[in-house]
Chain A
Amino acid sequence: KQEVTQIPAALSVPEGENLVLNCSFTDSAIYNLQWFRQDPGKGLTSLLLIQSSQREQTSGRLNASLDKSSGRSTLYIAASQPGDSATYLCAVWDYGQNFVFGPGTRLSVLP
């Protein structure tokens, strides 16, 4: 059964810092991995989608990498801003046609 974990569970940083969020999955037989952010009381916003054949994706200040063989992905946020404060979730589509989410990393960026 696919399991997804995220480290750290929570992170608090001063504005302007670069930071890395980690995601691990137990079964490397995945179609893709997706990073989301969830704001309190709101739905999920898709940030980046990495297909299993890709190594990384970039969007603005965000860069996500994927190492499928080791079951890891990282989300790099450059020059963090208070508006980046949210819970960040990673999720994988696996060959069992399940979409499995990690528990999330709660990020606070302090002004």
Chain B
Amino acid sequence: GAGVSQSPSNKVTEKGKDVELRCDPISGHTALYWYRQSLGQGLEFLIYFQGNSAPDKSGLPSDRFSAERTGGSVSTLTIQRTQQEDSAVYLCASSGIAALSYEQYFGPGTRLTVT
């Protein structure tokens, strides 16, 4: 595709429910990244994939968060038993072959609101 796309663009969920956020990277980009930006806060790095593999998952805020990527393309970020502090904009980015060497291109984000 022409750019990184994310869905849904907005998600309102009740506390305790599970949510899935989706990211479609730029075609041909092998590296994919997830971030979140809470209201009034800076950007927080969550996890990155090189292909289907995530070398380090320690950036995920808690064990309620998980991410997977299949086929070297689409990735999903799953939040189980959502809490109000999970409310944020979740951003996805992708980059070229070498995750640490190429510019990252960001999607528009998914705004998650937990009520």
Give me the interface of A with B, judged by CB distance under 8 Å: 31-32, 34, 36, 42-46, 49, 51, 89, 91, 93, 97-104
Q: Which of B14-22, B61-69, B75-83, B97-105 contacts A (4 or more CB under 8 A)?
A: B97-105
9 pairs of residues in contact across A and B, judged by CB atoms under 8 Å: A44-B106, A46-B106, A49-B103, A51-B101, A89-B43, A97-B48, A99-B33, A101-B42, A103-B42
Q: In the complex, A98→B43 CA distance in Å? A: 12
B106, A93: Cβ atoms closer than 8 Å? no
State how many angstroms separate the Cβ of B7 from the closest Cβ of chain A. 14
For residue B93, which residue of chain A has the nearest CB? A44
A91, B108: Cβ atoms closer than 8 Å? no
Give me the interface of B with A, judged by CB distance under 8 Å: 33, 35, 42-45, 48, 55-56, 59, 91, 93, 100-109
A44, B91: Cβ atoms closer than 8 Å? yes
B45, B55, B100, B107: which has the most chain A beta carbons within 10 Å? B100
A43, B107: Cβ atoms closer than 8 Å? yes
For residue A98, which residue of chain B has the nearest CB? B45
For B103, the chain A residues whose CB sits under 8 A away are 34, 46, 49
Q: In the complex, A86→B104 CA distance in Å? A: 18
B55, A97: Cβ atoms closer than 8 Å? yes
For residue B111, which residue of chain A has the nearest CB? A41
A104, B42: Cβ atoms closer than 8 Å? yes
| Interchain CB contact (< 8 A) of A31 among B48, B101, B105 | B101
B45, A99: Cβ atoms closer than 8 Å? yes
State how many angstroms separate the Cβ of A26 from the closest Cβ of chain B. 15
